[in-house]
Amino acid sequence: MLTIHFLIAAGIFFWFRFLWNRRCLYKLMFQLPGPMGLPLLGIAIEYTINKRKMSLRAQYMDKYGSTIFSWLGPVPILVTRDPTILKDILTSSDCLNKSLHMVNGMGTCIGFGLVTLREPKWDIRRKQLNPTFKHGVLLSFMPVFNDESKTLVSLLDTFVGQGEKDVLPDIHRWSFRTAMKTTMGSDIQEDQTFKDDKLMESYQTIIGLITVNVIFPLVQNKFIAKLCGYEKKRLKNALVINKPVENIIDKKLKCTEENSTSSISNTLINRAIDLFRSGDLSYEEVKSECSNMVLAAFETTGLTVWHTMILLAMFPDYQDMAFEELKKAFPTNGDFEVTEEDLQNLEYLDRVLNETLRLIPPIPIAPRETIRDVPLSNGVVIPKDVVIGIDIFSTHRNPDFWGSEAEKFNPDNFLPENILERHPYAFIPFSRGKRNCIGWKYALMSVKLTLAKILRNYKIGTSFRYEDLVFVDNTAMKLAQSPKLHFQRRT
């Protein structure tokens, strides 16, 4: 009997100690209201029942305010769409880390590189890789951008007069080939898995596994992953991905430093090999950086092109305005080369692209994690180790900053005078601050060039209504149902 009493007392003691250690979180609950959900489960059940629809977050914020505090299972999470709070977070040196469960979920699938590293390693790696994205280097990729977009346009030509088609797989193929060539160099074209799309399919499988890992962190446990069959699938596809990367690395390493072209080559793999030769990166880190960069580039750029095509198909008047600008820049349809100067002159296409990134950002939410207590400008202090959901999707539709028609597609939102009047953190498709997207200029160049060729050559339509788009939480933007598109040739 004494033993039972002791165990009960010990249990009560540790329970009160647990609550005491989390007192700062309970204080935060009173400062920042939000949905509490069920004990231990938080809002996880409601989130799952609603099929991870982003509209649920919007409902919470409309009810409780633009910055809310809640629980996803036992994990405390602060979510905000307030640009002022976002500025506090994105400019803080204590909020540079992505959330641990997201980093582990990605890293176990694709390796730990710039996309997945945390401080202090991230800062060092970012400085090491910054030269790969200098303006001159990006310009050297223009031939690849032109060649791959030409292939895509030729493929779309086969859809003319064929009714509505699902073009997303073809858009992904274009973006994957572009990302691989600009990351790995021309050597990748010799690989059979690249030629027959098996390499791309393995990347897409890995992206799916990452999504499962991030949404259901328990699957990150290897024992549970094996039981569910995820570990076997991960190993199989990681082998497909790593083999061509290793072949290219080994081929380049056989060259002497004097004969190596790395000093004049612009691809990330050559930069990583330079760092390997100098002892700054390990062999595994070189592989991880290549895989991380391809993963980050191809999914987001492909989605951005596709989303722009969808929106312009739904709003043909804006599509016609974009076409008139393109017709002036490129009087003849068919195949034409696009230069940097051409891209700079396409101002209306810029507005269309930015409005697409506003309404359908390729990364809808970016989780960060505090490494120390972080004071916000509203007087609230976010405790150490709290996950912060930077809700890009909801920020871009926040009516307090975008007006009563924030949900509507309107490229005029990005007229110069409208930009000047808006909070600088109300539009953050590539994040902002020190840990912004390293490849944002690369993405805009690639996407804009490809859209210019597609929209100059084809009038795009769809029977899918804008009002019927349903957005689902995912590591990258996901639509519950994918619209199909039909094509007519332009003259």
98-108 residue pLDDT tens: 988 889 888 88
Model confidence at 475, in pLDDT bands (50, 70, 90)? Answer: confident
Q: Which of 154-158, 178-182, 375-379 has the lowest mean pLDDT?
A: 375-379
Model confidence at 14, in pLDDT bands (50, 70, 90)? Answer: low
Q: Which residue has the higher pLDDT, 416 or 100?
A: 416
Compute the average pLDDT of residues 302-325: 98
The answer to whether 454 and 174 have CB atoms below 8 angstroms apart is no
Model confidence at 20, in pLDDT bands (50, 70, 90)? Answer: low
Q: Which residue has the higher pLDDT, 419 or 9?
A: 419
> What mean pLDDT is reported for the chain?
90
Query: Cβ-count burial of 187 within 10 angstroms (0-12 exposed, 13-18 middle, 19+ buried)?
Result: middle
Beta strands in 35-153 (DSSP E): 67-72, 75-80, 97-98
Q: Which residue has the higher pLDDT, 164 or 40?
A: 164
pLDDT score of 434: 93
- The size of the chain, in residues, is 491
As a whole-number percent, the residues of the chain with pLDDT over 90 amount to: 72
Contacts of 420 (CB under 8 A, 6+ apart): none
pLDDT score of 45: 74
- Over residues 348-372, the pLDDT tens digits come to 999 999 999 999 999 999 999 999 9
Compute the average pLDDT of residues 61-86: 90
Compute the average pLDDT of residues 174-196: 94
Record the tokens describing residue 27, joined without a space: 């204080």
Query: How far out from the chain centre does Cα 471 lie?
Result: 15
Model confidence at 21, in pLDDT bands (50, 70, 90)? Answer: low
**Which range in 97-111, 170-184, 257-271 is most confidently predicted, on average pLDDT?**
170-184
Model confidence at 18, in pLDDT bands (50, 70, 90)? Answer: low
The answer to whether 44 and 37 have CB atoms below 8 angstroms apart is yes
Instruction: Indicate the pairing of strand 365-369 with strand 387-391.
Output: antiparallel
- Over residues 385-404, the pLDDT tens digits come to 899 999 999 999 999 999 99
Going by the DSSP 8-state scheme, the letter that residue 468 receives in this structure is: G
Task: Tell me how far apart the alpha carbons of residues 225 and 136 are, in angstroms, rounded to a whole number.
Answer: 44
Compute the average pLDDT of residues 474-489: 93
Model confidence at 2, in pLDDT bands (50, 70, 90)? Answer: low
The tokens 């000047």 sit on which residue? Answer: 420
Query: How far out from the chain centre does Cα 392 lie?
Result: 11
pTM: 0.92
pLDDT score of 307: 98
Residue 425 has pLDDT above 80, yes or no: yes
Residue 22 has pLDDT above 70, yes or no: no
Compute the average pLDDT of residues 429-436: 94
Residue 260 has pLDDT above 60, yes or no: no
Strand partners, 375: 381
Compute the average pLDDT of residues 198-227: 87
pLDDT score of 261: 46
Compute the average pLDDT of residues 333-338: 94
Q: Which of 449, 446, 469 is nearest to 359 (CA)?
A: 469
Residue 264 has pLDDT above 50, yes or no: no
The answer to whether 429 and 126 have CB atoms below 8 angstroms apart is no
